[in-house]
Structure 1
């Protein structure tokens, strides 16, 4: 089904499929293409309204009777690490960051495969080959970076320990996808990557780090609520996440507006051209 605003772009809805976060639920996404000379402006505008990028597509959950997914971001200026997060920073002090253009490598793919085999063997990416991996990394119409983290090895060289595909917005950085060495589980590298991106954003004078979706009731998403100064996109506005336990994942047939109403409420940048037809 296609839904259009008075101006480009056009929005579509995916067919329902099993939810990767909450067992027994069906997910559906509202999405639009991200391409052309206005891609950056569109990405900046829609990311502020809960959308996420996957290659050249922007999407947002739009499930028929569930509204449990909330886009989450950290306010950099107000963030202070907890005691356990300071320990994570200390534990990973030897890691070295290297930001580069979005170009896939064989070392990255090998690390990606080890990560999936140990942590997400049954996930949707489990069968991704090297060409699909390269497309995930390289097919970006906006300003993106691959940030590699290396650790010293016994022979004096450095081994790849973690990778994050990161988008740069006009108001922050977005952690599109990250993966790390499963043998370094005790280093809490997932937490470290977020902490380091807070430092990246702070150094660049950007106010937010976008983390993707926080889903109450989903154990795999619960870690995001452990970061202070977290806010979520809810009912058309960003609000502080004061009490994560006050949210539930109950379903209700009236919890989501019709698709046409959702599209009508989307604010697009003025620079986009008027749609002709």
Structure 2
């Protein structure tokens, strides 16, 4: 009997289910497990090929009648913040961000629940428990980090652990060619801060400082309002049948 682990990943296909982004559409996904010593290498290759990571699973859409989901990545070196982005940065100058290993906390979970209850009451994650959240953060075989964003308080910068109020969190993967934003959430009551945009801008800054060319934003869904913000970060590339190509938001036809 051959007991050696297969060097190639095994792929599986989910059953059809209602699409969470486009009414009337059914979604299917192809997925594989990201485990073992080759998980970081496979995560790089699969993300560059249009997959996303959730815990120890890499997946991508495999819908039969729809191709609306498109993988998006920002071209870091050429990114120049617009006046609107500069206003977001100015509004959040009082924040301090800290990178931690992929470990959950009760404070993170409280913020996560407030975010879900405000923004995604009927979503697939709406009933997640503290244990579910811990698994989402910890169940990874790749280079995953948690970035906490807190209001700056006296003494921050002098101590390893900032003490200010936690208002945003990002779960991110470090890849050979960029940072991949796996999931992010924030205090929904602080709408004027545009914290979602702030976290993307922070990832662009971090990638540039690390000499990494891309920030991966996951899927942009053509026709979905909740995904429209992703095309604001220019220049960016979209994964097409011909590979990664530049996308010009001004050239996108109106729906």
TM-score, normalised via structure 1 length: 0.84
- Cα contact 1:216–1:248 (8 A) shared by 2: no
Q: 1:8 to 1:244 in 2, by over 3 A?
A: farther
Match of 2:104 in 1: 104
- Spell out, residue by residue over 1:99-148, the C-alpha distance to the aligned partner (whole angstroms, 9 max, x if none): 00000000000000000111111111100000000000010100010000
Instruction: Give the Cα separation in 1 of the matches to 2:242 and 2:177.
Output: 18
- What RMSD over aligned residues (CA atoms) do the two structures have, in Å? 1.7
Deviations 1:186-225 (A, max 9, x none): 1000000000000010011100000010011000000001
Give the corresponding residue for 1:186.
192
- In structure 2, what is the equivalent of residue 60 of structure 1? 60
> How many residue pairs end up in the alignment?
243
**Is contact 2:112–2:185 with CA below 8 Å preserved after alignment?**
yes
Aligned positions of 1:1-277 closer than 5 A: 8-152=8-152, 157-243=163-249, 246=252
1:242: how far off? 1.3
Structure 1 unaligned blocks of 5 or more: 1-5, 250-277
1:49–1:236 CA contact under 8 A, matched in 2: no
Determine helix, strand or coil for the equivalent of 2:189.
Answer: helix
Secondary structure class of the residue paired with 1:10: coil
User: Are the aligned partners of 1:88 and 1:191 in contact in 2 as well (CA < 8 Å)?
Assistant: yes
Query: What is the distance in 2 between the residues matched to 1:248 and 1:139?
Result: 40
Structure 2: 5+ residue stretches without partners: 1-5, 157-162
Q: Distance in 2 between matches of 1:243 and 1:204?
A: 27
1:37-88 Cα distance to aligned partner (Å, 9 max, x none): 1111111111111001000010011101101100100000011111101100
Normalization by structure 2: what TM-score?
A: 0.92
Structure-2 separation of matches of 1:76 and 1:243: 17
Q: What is the CA-CA distance between 1:236 and the residue it aligns to?
A: 4.6
Could you say which residue in structure 2 is the equivalent of 1:258? none
For the structure 1 residues 235 and 229, does the alpha-carbon distance in structure 2 shift closer, same or farther, using more than 3 Å as the test?
same
Q: Comparing both chains, which one has the higher relative contact order based on Cα–Cα distances under 8 Å and sequence gaps of 6 or more? A: 1
